[in-house]
Chain A
Amino acid sequence: MILNVRGLTKKFGTNTAVDDASFALEKPQMIGIIGRSGAGKSTVLRMINRMTDATNGVVEFEARNILALKGREKRAWQADCAMIFQQFNLIPRLDVMTNVLMGRLIDHSAVGSILRLFTRDERLAALAALDRLGIADHAMKRAEALSGGQQQRVAIARALVQDPKMILADEPIASLDPMNAQIVMEALRNIHEQDGRTVIANLHTLDTARTYCDRVIGMRDGAIVFDGPSEQLTEDTAREIYGAGEEFNEAATSTSINAIQDTTQQLVAVG
């Protein structure tokens, strides 16, 4: 058992954001968590990474109780469990290389990192990660000068230099156009397949989850309502996850270029 999540619950006041969520991973997988906004997808990832404290429940990674970690051990876990965000969360005014090297902060003291005493190996690893994602040419530019798709690849490169056991991606393509969304999802799939790392991605589109993930977890109002191989995800199940009625159309939640064209044509036909 790699990851074991049991009864994970998060309450904000009287509002329950995540309600008794349980799932387990036997081997490295690429998992897509789907559901509409506010379903609790982000909170699940943030609790696993320990950015948000859980109200209740257990998270075990390789038989270690993650939720009990404190101080340096907690930070070491965060480095092992890289996170990618919808808004990229880079340091806009610093250059791309420095941004990628931020993934190595855990190995450096406060003074060492302020003086940017990164080793030659770390710099090479950062460049290799950028090269793998096809953006090594931009290494010297300020992060804010890059396009959204490029910034998200910088964020993935930062995750890679952390040499993480797992990558959590919170809506990694929600701010990107279809072309860049495809590049980013393919990069994540590639990291899963070639490095054998577990990738858990929050997605709000069904077809992305179907295309790139081995397994899909559907969440609705904080609870897990579906957990299974992506092939088993029928339109009825999807309707239940999204709480939609008969008018539900899978293409409407799609980001792929074809699907958008289909929807547009339908809209034109209707109009």
Chain B
Amino acid sequence: MSETLATANMAAQYEIMERRRRVYTGLLLILLLVMLIGGVRIAEEANSGSILSGLPKILDYPSDILSQAYTRGWGFWLIPFEVQHADNGIQHTYFYYLIETINMAVVATIFGFAFGAVISILASRNLVKNQMIVWVTRRFTDISRAFPEIVIALFLIFIFGKNPIAAVAAIAFHTTGALSKMFSEVNENADMKAWEGLEASGASWIQKIWFGIIPQVWPNWISYGLLRFEINVRASAILGFVGAGGLGQQFKTFVDWKFGADIASIILILILTIVTIDILSTWARRRFIGKVAH
């Protein structure tokens, strides 16, 4: 008799829990809907009608650029490999500036990866006993993610002047925040059996991390790192706009000067580069993840 009562009680408890879960889901959906509607209305108010009146002109600028590129004939394809506008103070080929842009992304990604890896471990609840350390580290990563690269870059340009160091530092800072967040999620999903096995045989904390966690998580770390590299190439091109060097800076110059053929050429090599990096990193990521998933 008492057992059936207990069962009934448990069933009621479960019912309450289930109902609460449903209410939360409903509330969340309503919240999302409100935010969506609010966002659309704000955008509409800000533009108030200019979208419609601007529509007929939308193709003017691209056709202007393309017609300038067309007048260069076959020579257009050689633009990236020859120094253009030396008289205006441009010293290198666009190909050289492209390498500079990629280089900035590579260096920033490597630094961000290294710092992110270390910080992610301190931000993983399952790996650090002192939850205060986890909390403080997480807030730091929140802050480093909260600032967009461009804001940090503008700030650093004030300090270091207009050079790639500012862009690299800005991207590395943001990357550290982004990767440490992703890495710590990977870490927290790690299987702790190996960790326990090591702990039971007297391994130190660093030994448990190195042998119990790293072998499991590094393929995922690499995968996220490559994804971040892809994003960082774009970011370093954009940071050129604020004077941080690389292809972006040249692009900004030609947009100001309205050199259509150069603009078209730079857009083309940026697109090709990003597509290439995307293909390569997808391939590499598959290889790394494939190894884990058997």
B186-202 vs A, CB cutoff 8 Å, 1 = contact: the mask equals 00000001101111111
Partner of A75, one of B193, B194, B203, B206: B203
- Give the shortest distance, in Å, between A43 (CB) and chain B (any CB): 14
* In contact, A110 and B206 (Cβ under 8 angstroms): yes
**Bound complex: CA of A155 vs CA of B197, how far in Å?**
9
Q: Is the CB of B201 within 8 A of A105?
A: yes
Chain B residue contacts of A79, Cβ below 8 A: 201-202
Asked whether B216 is an interface residue with its Cβ less than 8 Å from the other chain, the reply is yes
When the two chains form their complex, are residues B216 and A93 in contact, meaning their CB atoms are under 8 A apart?
A: yes
Partner of A110, one of B193, B194, B207, B216: B207
* Given known contacts A91-B194, A91-B211, A102 and B199 CB-to-CB distance under 8 angstroms: no
Q: Are B211 and A94 in contact (CB under 8 A)?
A: yes
Expressed in whole angstroms, the Cα–Cα distance for A75 and B216 within the complex equals 24
Closest Cβ neighbor of A82 among chain B residues: B201
- Count: A-B pairs, CB below 8 Å: 81
Q: Which residues of B contact A102 (CB under 8 A)?
A: 197-198, 201, 203, 211
What does DSSP make chain A's interface, helix, strand, loop or mixed? helix
8 Å CB interface, B196-227 against A: 196-204, 206-207, 210-212, 215-216
Q: Is the interface of B mostly helix, strand, loop or mixed?
A: helix
Of listed B196, B197, B204, B207, residue having the most chain A CB within 10 A: B197
Which residues on the A side are within 8 Å of B206 (C-beta)?
110, 114
Cross-chain contact B197 with A90 (CB below 8 angstroms): yes
Q: Collect the chain A residues with CB atoms within 8 Å of residue B212's CB.
A: 91
Report A96-111 CB contacts with B as 1/0, cut-off 8 Å.
0010001101101010
- Is A76 an interface residue when CB atoms closer than 8 A count as contact? yes
A190 interface hit (Cβ, 8 Å): no
Instruction: A91 to B208: give the CA distance in the assembly, Å.
Output: 11
Q: Does A92 contact B (CB under 8 A)?
A: yes
Residue-wise, chain A 26-53 has the 8 Å CB interface mask toward B (1 for contact) of 0000000000000000000000010100
Interface size on B, residues (CB 8 A): 18
Question: Are A85's CB and B215's CB within 8 A?
Answer: no
A108: which B residues are within 8 A, CB to CB? 207
Known contacts A90-B194, A93-B215; A51 and B210 CB within 8 A of each other: no
Q: Are B200 and A91 in contact (CB under 8 A)?
A: no
A89 touches B193 (CB 8 A): yes
- CA gap between A89 and B203 in the complex, in Å: 14
Contact of A78 with B200 at beta-carbon distance under 8 Å, contacts A89-B194, A94-B215 already known = yes
With contacts A89-B194, A91-B215 known, is A49 near B200, CB below 8 A?
yes
CB distance from A227 to the nearest CB of B (A): 25
If A93-B216, A105-B204 touch, does A113 touch B197 (CB 8 Å cutoff)? no
- B75 CB to closest chain A CB (Å) equals 54
* Chain B residues positioned under 8 Å from A159 (CB to CB): 201
CB contacts under 8 Å to A, within B154-213, are 193-194, 196-204, 206-207, 210-212
In angstroms, how far is the closest chain B Cβ from the Cβ of A141? Answer: 15
Which residues of chain A (37-85) have a CB below 8 Å from chain B? 49, 51, 75-79, 82-83, 85
| Interface status of A153 (Cβ within 8 A of chain B) | no
Partner of B202, one of A76, A91, A98: A76
Q: Does A198 contact B (CB under 8 A)?
A: no
Given contacts A89-B196, A92-B194, A114-B210, contact A162 B201 (CB under 8 A): yes
Do A106 and B199 contact each other (CB < 8 Å), given the known contacts A89-B194, A91-B211, A113-B210?
A: no
User: Which residues of the other chain, A, contact B196 by a CB distance below 8 angstroms?
Assistant: 51, 85, 89
Contact partners of B203 in chain A: CB under 8 A: 75, 102, 105-106
Contacting B200 at CB < 8 Å: which of A51, A76, A92, A113?
A51
Interface: A87 (CB within 8 A): yes
- Whether B202 lies near A106 (C-beta < 8 A) is yes
A75 contact set on B, CB distance < 8 A: 202-204
- Which residues of chain B have C-beta atoms less than 8 A from A103's C-beta? 201
**A10 at interface by CB-CB < 8 Å:** no
Contact of A192 with B by CB under 8 A:
no
* Contacts beyond the supplied A75-B204, A159-B201, A162-B201: 20 A-B pairs with Cβ under 8 Å: A75-B203, A76-B202, A78-B199, A79-B201, A85-B197, A88-B193, A89-B196, A90-B197, A91-B197, A91-B198, A91-B211, A91-B215, A92-B194, A98-B211, A105-B201, A105-B203, A105-B204, A106-B201, A110-B204, A158-B201
| Residue positions of B touching A, CB distance < 8 A | 193-194, 196-204, 206-207, 210-212, 215-216
Q: What are 18 A-B pairs with beta-carbon distances under 8 A?
A: A49-B200, A51-B196, A76-B202, A77-B202, A78-B201, A83-B201, A85-B200, A89-B194, A90-B197, A91-B194, A91-B198, A93-B216, A105-B198, A105-B201, A105-B211, A110-B204, A113-B211, A159-B201
